[in-house]
């Protein structure tokens, strides 16, 4: 339990953090990674270059300082970060390194005096303990589950299939031949890659793109122009090759009753967790399922036939596909249903349903647009669930 004095001191420094902005987290990361280069095998160095991780850390630190007297509001953020940390194999000793560099950064920027540094040390210690405790629970649950494990486990690529011009799917089976851990549709796998092509180990998370299976996992990866790992997977990883995977995790997953109508909304490669949800629900769910997806055109539309078949199997299934720039071979009513970007006013019978639950994934700008349309249609925020690929952003 934090002392009242610590709460007051830390809360009073929140405006200083807000004024400084991500500049302070840039200093923090530079300092820490220079002193502990081994952590470059953990952190996504691409996110260091584009400052995406800096912004995410700044939001987290400022949010903690501003809400230190009401930590209940931070619990969803704690769960999201703790789940991500376990896919990186974060260990308790790393929190001491982070704490040391965080305090040194605060001192370098503000020279606030020992009382403030002591207050931040106490506050950080409490927060670190929360994460360490929660991550210990996650690690233990992963290890204790049927087919589960802790850390990385070697899997072999048993299928590799091009799903569109830019998206390829990979199916993995464990080399040891044992069972694999179950997961909740919407969760992701961590993949740890060491290669002579990379200066450091590269770790990424990819959503599981199929319903749970007893002996294999499927992901789908979009080739990004500057994506170090996505290009490596597309070009260098083939059937028969081995990869190291951490157990499924993540706080974004399907969680509805069989009588609850659900709408799955995606754009681009954001359909990967939705495929897991759709495959799980199709033919079994007793309420309606709506599949809403946006793509540039038929060449970039992954899992088109598979998703259409799955939604068609459901007696209350409904499909709506938007192509922003359909090509000559893209047939209206067959390959797509609407031209342009997603406009929910054309399917307002869905948004008007007060029981409808919405899950979505895609580029942040896309999800911001969809979230705005949903709220304007009267959908409450507790019925909207979403996943960001990369550092989390609030829509």
| 51 marked among binding-site residues | no
| 164 marked among binding-site residues | no
| 388 marked among binding-site residues | yes
Q: Which two tokens stand for residue 120?
A: 């931040």
| 206 marked among binding-site residues | yes
Neighbours of 272 (CB within 10 A): 29
Q: Is 95 one of the annotated active-site residues of the chain?
A: yes
| 124 marked among binding-site residues | no
| 268 marked among binding-site residues | yes
| 229 marked among binding-site residues | no
| 221 marked among binding-site residues | no
Per the residue annotation, which of 29, 95, 139, 359 is the catalytic one?
Answer: 95
Q: What is the dihedral of CA 116, 117, 123, 124, to 10 degrees?
A: 150
Collect contacts of 62-69 with beta carbons under 8 A, ≥24 apart. Answer: 62/14, 62/17, 62/18, 64/123, 64/127, 65/10, 65/11, 65/13, 65/14, 65/17, 65/123, 66/11, 66/14, 68/2, 68/7, 68/10, 68/11, 68/123, 69/7, 69/11
| 361 marked among binding-site residues | no
| 269 marked among binding-site residues | yes
Please state, in angstroms and rounded to a whole number, the distance separating the CA atoms of residues 28 and 275. Answer: 39
Q: Which two tokens stand for residue 283?
A: 């033919």
Q: Is 309 one of the annotated active-site residues of the chain?
A: no
| 273 marked among binding-site residues | yes
Per the residue annotation, which of 64, 124, 135, 217 is the catalytic one?
Answer: 135
Instruction: Report CA-CA distances (Å) from 282 to 107, 255, 274, 319.
Output: 56, 15, 12, 13
Residues contributing to the annotated binding site for FAD: 188, 204-207, 388-391
Binding residues for heme b: 85
* Residues designated catalytic: 95, 135
Q: Which residues are annotated as a binding site?
A: 85, 188, 204-207, 268-273, 388-391
Query: Which residue ranges are tagged as binding site for NADP(+)?
Result: 268-273
């Amino acid at each position: 339990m934090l002392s009242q004095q610590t709460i007051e001191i830390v809360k009073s420094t929140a405006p200083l953090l807000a004024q400084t902005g991500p500049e302070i987290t840039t200093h923090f990361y530079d300092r820490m990674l220079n002193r502990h280069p081994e952590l470059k095998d953990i952190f996504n160095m691409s996110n260091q270059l584009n400052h995406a991780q800096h912004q995410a850390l700044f939001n987290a630190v400022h949010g903690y300082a501003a809400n230190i007297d009401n930590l209940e509001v931070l619990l969803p953020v704690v769960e999201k970060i703790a789940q991500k940390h376990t896919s990186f194999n974060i260990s308790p000793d790393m929190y001491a390194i982070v704490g040391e560099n965080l305090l040194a950064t605060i001192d370098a920027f503000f020279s606030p005096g020992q009382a403030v540094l002591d207050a931040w040390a106490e506050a950080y210690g409490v927060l670190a303990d929360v994460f360490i405790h929660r991550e210990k629970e996650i690690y233990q649950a992963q290890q204790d589950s049927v087919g589960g494990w802790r850390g990385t486990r070697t899997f072999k690529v048993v299928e590799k299939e091009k799903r569109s011009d830019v998206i390829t799917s990979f199916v993995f089976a464990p080399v040891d031949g044992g069972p694999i851990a179950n997961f909740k549709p919407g969760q992701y796998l961590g993949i740890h890659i060491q290669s002579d092509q990379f200066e450091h180990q590269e770790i990424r998370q990819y959503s599981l793109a199929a319903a749970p299976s007893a002996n294999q996992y499927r992901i789908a990866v979009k080739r990004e122009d500057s994506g170090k790992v996505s290009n490596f997977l597309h070009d260098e990883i083939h059937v028969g090759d081995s990869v190291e995977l951490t157990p499924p995790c993540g706080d974004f997953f399907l969680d509805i009753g069989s009588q609850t109508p659900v709408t799955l909304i995606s754009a681009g490669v954001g359909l990967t967790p939705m495929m897991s949800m759709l495959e799980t629900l199709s033919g079994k769910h007793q309420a309606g399922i709506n599949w809403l997806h946006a793509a540039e055109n038929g060449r970039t539309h992954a899992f088109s036939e598979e998703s259409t078949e799955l939604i068609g199997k459901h007696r209350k299934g409904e499909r709506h596909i938007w192509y922003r720039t359909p090509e000559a071979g893209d047939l209206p009513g067959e390959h797509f249903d609407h031209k342009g970007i997603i406009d929910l006013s054309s399917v307002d019978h869905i948004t008007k349903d007060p029981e409808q639950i919405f899950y979505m994934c895609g580029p942040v700008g896309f999800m911001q647009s969809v979230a705005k349309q949903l709220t304007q249609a009267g959908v409450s925020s507790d019925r909207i669930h979403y996943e960001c690929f990369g550092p989390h952003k609030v829509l």
